[in-house]
Structures are given as C-alpha cells and as structure tokens.
Amino acid sequence: MLPNRRQLLTGATVAALATPAFMTGAAAAPSKIAFNTAGIDAALANLVRDGAVGVTTSVVGPGGTYLSAAGKRDLQKDSARPQDRARIASITKAMIAVLVMQRIEAGQWTLRTTIDQVTPGLYPGHGGVTVAQLMNHTSGMPDGIYSLLPDREWYTWTVEDLEAAVVPYHSEQELVELSRRLPWEFEPGTGWSYSNAGYVVLSMMLEAATGSRIQDLVRDRVFKPAKMQQSRLEESTLVRGRYLLPYGKFQAGLAPLPLVNPSIFSGAGGVYATAEDITDFTGALMTGRLLRKDLVDAMVTPVGAAQQARYGYGLYLINGPCRTAAGTPEVLIGHDGAGFGTRAVSFTTRDASRRMALAYTGRSYVEEGPDPDAAMNAALIAGFRATCPASAPTTPASGKGPASGGAGSLRL
C-alpha cells in the first residue's frame, strides 16, 4: 500500500492516545435511566488507557438505553461518538443463524437439512453436513481463511501482512475452496471447532435457496424488523457513513487499517453496525420479533459436542456478574467479534431486560504490554453490574470471558 494511505503512528498522533479520553454519554430518555452509568464510562476510559483508539457502547437496563463513546474515531480527525458504526465481525454469525432458523420456522428447512440438499457439489465428500452442525461448529469443516494469513505467530505479523490478506476482494467460492484444500477436522457431530467457513457455506446455501444475495437477506429479514437503521453487511473496502477507523498495534507501532475488505468473512463476519443497533438486534431476537420462542430457545441451548464450548446456534453462553433470585449465576447470551483492527462484544439476558454491546478499535498484535481485550471484558462486567437488579447480589464473572479464549474468540 502507498505510504500516503497508511503510515505508522508516531510523535503527535501517538500523543493523542496519551491524553485523557474524550467521553460522551447519551440516553434516549436520560431522566428515566435507573442505573449508575459512572462505572461504565470509567471502564471505557480504562479501555482507551490500555490501547483502544476508539470505543462505543450501548447498555440497556432499568429505565432505558445508555449510549457512550471514548477515544478517537480517527486519530487524524475527530473523536468517537456513540452512534459511530464499527465492524462487529463474528457477531454477524448470530444474524446468519437467524436467517437459517427463519427458514426452519417457515417449514422450508429443518436442522437436518444438508449442504447437498441445497447446494449439491459445493463441498464434495462432505455434502451430508447439516445446517445445525454448521451453525454450532460441530461439522469439522476446516477454516481456510487462516491460510490467507502468515504461517507464523500472530504477534510477529506486520501491517503489511494483514493488508495482503484483507484488502483484496475474496469471493465466497474462493473462501470455500481454501477450506477444501485442508483436511477435515473430525467426523461431523463428534467434536467442536470454530469455523468461519461453515458460516460462509450457510450464506451460500441461503443465497441458493432464495435467489437473493446474503447482503439483501440480512437487510430485509434482520435489520429492518429489528430497526437496525445503521447496519450493513458490507462487501468492499468502501464503507458508507461514519465509522470507527480500524487500527492495529504492531511491533513497529500503531497503524490504521482503512481498507479492510469485509468479503474475507462474508456472512461469517462482514457486518458494520452501531452499538445501539446491536442491542436492538438482541432485543428483537430475545423477545420474539425475529423468531418464534421455541426456535430462539433452540439457538441458546448448546447440544451434543457443542456443549463443551457452551455454543448454541450462532450464540454462546457465559456466566455474568449478577445472580438470579435463586442465587445461581446469571447466564448471558451473545457473541464476540474479532476483526482486523477491531473487537466487538454483545451479550443479553434471555428476557432481553439487560443488554450490552461494545466495539473498539486498536486491536493489539503484540505479545507484551497492555491488551485492550482485558479492559473490554472489564467493561462488559461493569455494564452488567450497573444494571444488576437491586435484589440480586453481584459476583465475580466466572468462566472464560469473550476475550479470554472463549468459544467465539478468534486471534485474527
């Protein structure tokens, strides 16, 4: 890439990160918010302190929705705003799973519908893999996307390494062919292994069954009914509207990644959205506006080999910081996303009464020093603790958080 389009950030631009974080908070009805937001904003400031360039969040709890942002949207220009969009990466998978479940609700597919029944010959020798196995990562399908990246430790990667992989356009067929060159992981249904390729295949199956592009399907059947007005499944380096510019922290310094092409993930992780749009999505899903209750229940219930990862269909489970009325740890439902230069996380209670989404830029690709992922987990805990019912005690979050090697974590 030409130097004038990407440069390592030093001097004055790095100094901008060392200054106190710009912080802005907003709520649809501020007088009705019935939870303390100070801890949330403090957690965002800590995230910027630990290396995030810009961060946005949406927290839904008693009384309404609190929106906040910290840091910079673009170090060369302006500050982050609560309504800035960000690449949410693998949170996209929950939306693709909704499209699959909608076809099941309509009686057009079942959980046992196979690749060959919809797209014959797409994956020779493995056409009997079911949509259920693709959705919960028990298919054994290898993830060929990794073959686009350097075959060495991630903390040795350079910005040029990432640009070589993420700037070119990659078709869905190309992504599947990359996977087909690799050995199958295990007999379908007998193990668990996270596979972006599985969601690329699901996207191709949905396109073949409907005659519509996956971008149009997710817009019409997820974004519109969930009122996600700022969300798009992008397919090129051209991203419309305001968004947090991706940055990566490399051994040579902090560098922008302005030309990330979402086609590298397709339906596995190509959506850009605001934090508020993401909490609107989980709210619509959990309250039955996108699917019948029994199908939502199926999405949030790990089965078979996926139980080891607590992974359902496009969603996984973690223990939250609050306790139920019975004294047991609350269960939160959601997904994280690990993009090139970005991270995102979204979780909700099953009744959707408490929800949180967060996205940040400035992802670290170095082995030592502060890692914003830990601060992201702390912010997630702060958000759910702030909205914890007064009658329910809090407890340290247990189990692996979304940024500590949990089911949905990807080191990309």
With contact defined as beta carbons under 8 Å apart, do 295 and 315 qualify?
no
CA distance linking residue 359 with residue 207, whole number of Å: 29
Residue 42: which of 340, 375, 384 has the closest Cα? 375
Residue 138, domain member (yes or no): yes
Instruction: Give the range of the structural domain holding residue 274, as residue numbers without chain letter.
Output: 3-317+352-386
Confirm whether 340 is domain-assigned: no
Q: Is-contact 1 163, C-beta < 8 A? A: yes
Spell out the residues 6+ positions from residue 236 whose beta carbon is closer than 8 angstroms to its own: 169, 261, 262, 263
pLDDT of residue 401: 55
Q: In total, how many domains does the chain have?
A: 1
- Does 327 fall in a domain? no
Token pair for 220: 């019409």
Residue 178 contacts residue 270 (beta carbons within 8 Å): no
Q: Do the domain assignments include residue 330?
A: no
Q: Describe the strand order of the beta sheet including 253-256 as a list of residue ranges.
A: 253-256, 247-250, 363-364
* Helix (H) or strand (E) run with residue 45 in it: helix 38-49
The predicted pLDDT at position 393 comes to 59
Strand partners, 64: 61
Residues 6+ apart with CB under 8 A from 260: 87, 166, 167, 237, 246, 339, 340, 341
| Cβ–Cβ < 8 Å for 342, 363 | yes
Contact predicate 148/412, CB 8 Å: no
Q: Looking at this protein, which amino acid is placed at residue 214?
A: I
Q: How far apart are the C-alpha atoms of 48 and 8, rounded to whole Å?
A: 18
**How many angstroms separate the CA atoms of 64 and 354, rounded?**
10
Any domain includes 78: yes
- Beta bridge partners, 394, equal 322
Q: Is residue 183 part of a domain?
A: yes
Task: Specify the pairing of strand 247-250 against strand 54-61.
Answer: unpaired
Residue 17 lies in a domain: yes
Q: How far is CA 361 from CA 56, 277, 353, in A?
A: 10, 18, 28
Q: What is the pLDDT along the chain (412 residues), one digit of tens a residue?
A: 222 322 333 333 333 333 334 455 555 445 588 899 999 999 999 999 999 999 999 999 999 999 999 999 999 989 999 999 999 999 999 999 999 999 999 999 999 999 999 999 999 999 999 999 999 999 999 999 888 988 888 888 898 988 888 889 999 999 999 999 999 999 999 999 999 999 999 999 999 999 999 999 999 999 999 999 999 998 877 777 899 999 999 999 999 988 888 888 899 999 999 999 999 999 999 999 999 999 999 999 999 999 999 999 999 999 999 998 888 999 999 999 999 999 999 999 999 999 999 999 999 999 888 889 999 999 999 999 999 987 665 665 444 455 544 443 333 3
pTM comes to 0.89
Buried b (16+ CB within 10 A) or exposed e, 280-291: bbbbbbbeeebb
Task: Identify whether 393 is part of a domain.
Answer: no
* 3-state DSSP assignment of residue 199: helix
| CATH at residue 375 | 3.40.710.10
Distance between CA atoms of residues 312 and 306, nearest Å: 7
